[in-house]
Structure 1
Amino acid sequence: MKIAILSATVYGSAEEVARHGAARLEQQGHVIHHFPRATLEQLLKFAPEALLVVTSTTGMGELPDDIQPLYSEVRDQLPAAWRGLPGGVIALGDASYGDTFCGAGEQIRELFAELGVLEVQPMLRLDASESVTPETDAEPWLDTFAAELASRQ
């Protein structure tokens, strides 16, 4: 399956999780394109069959600046080609922020709902106050994500 992986990061952790996830999903036979700073045109040209977004959370639960232009463009255009695609979200945050913990991931989930992207499993929340290796902590979730996608082919 062709999976587009988007990453949104401030300090690089989410991008590292996305790169690690891309390699892991590729080993399982998927065709991966990791778009660290994607444009909508690039994504549509790739024609993904599934979407995975890995995002950190900034400030009071916002998306990082590097994904803001794409997020706005997608919300404005709501690509019909993505309706019904399977998708997933990995969110990085710090639980000490309380209600805004992994808020950026929640924003992506809301966008998925607007787009008609179907989450194949619950969002993974990685807590920076508990983990120093988010890329390896994401592996079980990624394996389940890959299995869910394989069952849909």
Structure 2
Amino acid sequence: MKIAVFSGSVYGTAEEVARHAEGLLNAAGHQAWHNPRASVADVQGFAPEAFLAVTSTTGMGELPDNLQPLYFALRDAMPAWSGLPGGVIGLGDSSYGDTFCAGGELMRELFAELGIVEVQPMLRLDSSESVTPESDAEPWLASFISALHS
């Protein structure tokens, strides 16, 4: 299965989690593609059959700058991805209260608007509790991979 991996990162942690996820997806026999600066045309050229978004949250609950152009372009283009599977990993700091993993929630909402079916609940990685988010994401990613095979 061809899986497009989107990432939004301020300090690089979410991008590292996305790269790690890309490697695990490829090792599981999928064809994962990750480009942190992808355009809609890039994504459509890859012709994905599933999606994974990995993003941190910045500011007052916004997406990182590198993911915003793709996010808004996808909302404008509304590509025909209805019914395709997807999942979201959100990174944040729980001490921020209401905006904890808000970037991930924005991606979940976008996926829902595009008709992408969330195959399992969003993983929320808390930077105040985790020093190894790549490893912490592995059990969720294993379940995500299993859900894609179903």
Instruction: With the length of structure 2 as denominator, give the TM-score of the two structures.
Output: 0.99
Task: Please list every run of at least 4 consecutive aligned residues from structure 1 whose deviation after the TM superposition is greater than 4 angstroms.
Answer: none
Please tell me whether residue 143 in structure 1 is matched to residue 142 in structure 2. yes
Alignment of 1:1-153 (within 5 A): 1-80=1-80, 82-151=81-150
Cα deviation, 1:118-147, whole Å, max 9, x if unaligned, reads 000000000000001000000000000000
Amino acid in structure 2 at the alignment position of 1:73: A
Cα deviation, 1:22-62, whole Å, max 9, x if unaligned, reads 11111110111112110000000100000000000001111
Kindly state the Cα deviation for residue 93 of structure 1 after the two structures are TM-superposed. 0.1
In 2, Cα distance between equivalents of 1:19 and 1:122:
20
Gaps of 5+ in 2: none
| Paired positions, count | 150
Gaps of 5+ in 1: none
Amino acid in structure 2 at the alignment position of 1:24: L
Instruction: With the length of structure 1 as denominator, give the TM-score of the two structures.
Output: 0.97
Kindly state the Cα deviation for residue 65 of structure 1 after the two structures are TM-superposed. 0.5
Cα deviation, 1:56-93, whole Å, max 9, x if unaligned, reads 0001111000011111110011101x111100000000
Amino acid in structure 1 at the alignment position of 2:50: A
